[in-house]
Amino acid sequence: METCGDDVSDPTMEIIGVLSDVSMASRSLPVGVVSTNFKVTRGFGGITENAKVNVDRLYLRQIMTGWDANQSDVIQPNAVTGLGKTAVNNWGVYDGAGSKAKLVAKTHGMHTLAGKWSNWFTLAFVVGRHVEFEASTLQVMGANDEDEADNDWAIVGGTGEFAMARGIIRRRVYSITNSTLTHALTIEFFCHMTEVVPSPTKRGTVGGNRGTLPREMEGKSQRLENVTIYHVGAVEGFQFSYVDEDGKIRTTDTWGRVHPDPLRKTEIKFGPSEFVKKINGAQRGGEGWLSKFEIVTTHKTYGPFGADNGTPNFSYTVPEDETVVGFFANTDNIFVTSIGVYTI
């Protein structure tokens, strides 16, 4: 008897969140479509964790007996309780469930029956399939019952491009055929990718054209940390901090002016999983400065700051697979007159 889920004949892999015009440091990772089930998103955690990796539609084949078995018993169980049975495994992980699927990784480790099956193994990505991840590994451990249809395994470490990985593997039984048990895997983890250093892309500007003093950040921002806005009837001053390509936190000068009234100062500190996705605002007619400004993140909307009587209104939404990591602006030494964003 065979039980199976949806068939995936030939999934591919892709990396998104790294732009096609991004410069890489040291050895570059490929950019663009590599396959449809592998996604890397930059900008997490600053110095330690700078990437989130999502992988779906991988299939682990556990062949228990036969000439092509990929596990072997090394300790026989207690005759009464069955406890203690231990096997070493070299299971294969493929990019599809069919016979033409390609090998992506091997699982080198052991599993022991101790009430549940306790698994601990190294998920090693094979050379030749995805060169960008060759010799990279994930350290995995977790438990499951023989008759358990699905459960989670923990990712407790990693090496290579997946250094210091931590996350989870969601496992479900995909099919049972004779002596082969196929598990469908969905993987999500954070890690530190040292060799992916994208150059931010400049987008904008929005607002007026009165300002003659351009304002720019230094270095290549990889994550936006916080924003400080001075505002009364307009945006008078703007400042922000960010993590650069070396993992250092930098802070810009105040663009515009610092208002002396502390009640006119707003500081926004973004959470570790919070990302700016949109800016809204308004320009004050012929005077040409920002009369209103607000920031929209994945968590909430900040603002509006300034007055609400400006026209025309403007709005800029970041592409779905990008996030704001910095700003640039024009000022007239008193007000911020226009603003734009840097994204990766």
Neighbouring CB atoms inside 10 A of 14's CB total 15
The residue-averaged pLDDT of 21-40 equals: 41
Q: CA torsion 124→128→129→135, rounded to 10°?
A: 20
Residues 252, 239 contacting (CB under 8 angstroms):
yes
Residues 321, 17 contacting (CB under 8 angstroms):
yes
* Residue 26 tokens, joined: 């040291």
Q: Is residue 60 part of a domain?
A: yes
Q: Tokens 């990591």 appear where?
A: 325
Q: Is residue 214 part of a domain?
A: yes
Check residues 77 and 47 and name the one with the higher pLDDT.
77
Exposure of 162 by Cβ count < 10 A (0-12 exposed, 13-18 middle, 19+ buried)?
Answer: buried
Which residue, of 192, 226, 257, is where some domain finishes? Answer: 192
Band of pLDDT at residue 212, cut at 50, 70 and 90 = confident
Domain check: are 108 and 208 in the same one?
no
Q: For the domain that residue 322 is a member of, what is the CATH number? A: 2.100.10.30
Whole-number mean pLDDT of the chain?
Answer: 81
Residues in the chain, how many?
344
Structural domain range at position 241: 201-343
Residue 48 has pLDDT above 80, yes or no: no
Q: Is residue 7 part of a domain?
A: no
Domains identified in the chain, total number = 2
Render pLDDT for 139-149 as a digit per residue (tens, 0 to 9): 999 988 766 67
Exposure of 142 by Cβ count < 10 A (0-12 exposed, 13-18 middle, 19+ buried)?
Answer: buried
Spatial separation of the C-alpha atoms in residues 321 and 319, rounded to whole Å? 6
Domain check: are 121 and 215 in the same one?
no
Range with top average pLDDT, 11-20, 96-105, 189-198: 96-105
Q: Is residue 4 part of a domain?
A: no
Spatial separation of the C-alpha atoms in residues 96 and 189, rounded to whole Å? 21
Residues 180, 99 contacting (CB under 8 angstroms):
no
What is the pLDDT at residue 289? 81
Domain check: are 28 and 107 in the same one?
yes
Domain check: are 188 and 258 in the same one?
no
Residues 278, 316 contacting (CB under 8 angstroms):
yes
Q: What percent of the chain shows pLDDT beyond 90?
A: 48
Which residue, of 192, 218, 234, is where some domain finishes? Answer: 192
- With a CB cutoff of 8 Å and minimum separation 6, the contacts of 225 are 46, 240, 241, 242, 243, 249, 269, 270
What is the pLDDT at residue 293? 93
What is the pLDDT at residue 131? 54
Q: Residue 27: what are its φ and ψ, rounded to 5°?
A: -85, 125
What is the pLDDT at residue 264? 87
Domain check: are 305 and 226 in the same one?
yes
Q: For the domain that residue 100 is a member of, what is the CATH number? A: 2.40.480
Q: Is residue 236 part of a domain?
A: yes
Domain check: are 73 and 35 in the same one?
yes
Spatial separation of the C-alpha atoms in residues 128 and 28, rounded to whole Å? 16
Read out DSSP for 17-49? SS-TT---SSSPPP-EEEBTTEEEEE--STTT-
Band of pLDDT at residue 1, cut at 50, 70 and 90 = very low
Spatial separation of the C-alpha atoms in residues 210 and 329, rounded to whole Å? 11
Lowest-pLDDT range, 13-22, 96-105, 186-195, 222-231?
13-22
Q: Tokens 């699982």 appear where?
A: 107
The residue-averaged pLDDT of 84-99 equals: 93
What is the pLDDT at residue 341? 95
Q: Is 149 strand, coil or helix? A: coil
Residue 23 has pLDDT above 60, yes or no: no
Residue 136 has pLDDT above 80, yes or no: yes
